[in-house]
Every structure is written in structure tokens, then in C-alpha cells.
Amino acid sequence: MYVCVCNGVTERDIHQAVCEGACSMRDLRQQLGVASQCGRCATCAKAILDQEIQHAQVTLYPLGQHPQRNFKQAI
């Protein structure tokens, strides 16, 4: 699905950007041009970005094994 029509950015493009290290709207704007024209895509792009980051964290750190969680428990 196209997220940013102005720059031809798709959900797949955002997914790939997250896989390559994008973790903020600023990163997406710099890498893909998301929300740099009319801005109508910003809300949708942010939702997809958040979903992709959440998915990446769950994949990397199964339930209860995230390093930040363990750090807080140790304190």
C-alpha cells in the first residue's frame, strides 16, 4: 500500500528502512522523503513505523527478555 503518494513510499519501503536502522520519523524523512511534501502521510507513516519497531523488538527480545526490562529489575 502506498503511504506517501507525493514521494511514492510504500509500507514495504518503511519496513525496509526500519530493517536498515530507521527508528524515527526524522530517519524516514531523511531516507525516504516521508512527510516532506504535503504531510498527509505523517500519521499513517508514524503508525507503521511504530508497528515495525514493536515487531522488531518482539522478534529480537522474546517476552520478558528485553535488556531494558532486565536492567530495571536489577535496580
With H, G, I as helix, E, B as strand and everything else as coil, classify residue 13.
Answer: helix
Please state the domain extents for the chain.
2-74
pTM for the whole structure: 0.76
Which cell goes with 54? 514493536
Q: What top-level class would CATH report for the domain 2-74? A: mainly alpha
With H, G, I as helix, E, B as strand and everything else as coil, classify residue 7.
Answer: coil
pLDDT in tens, 16-56: 999 999 999 999 999 999 999 999 999 999 999 999 998 88
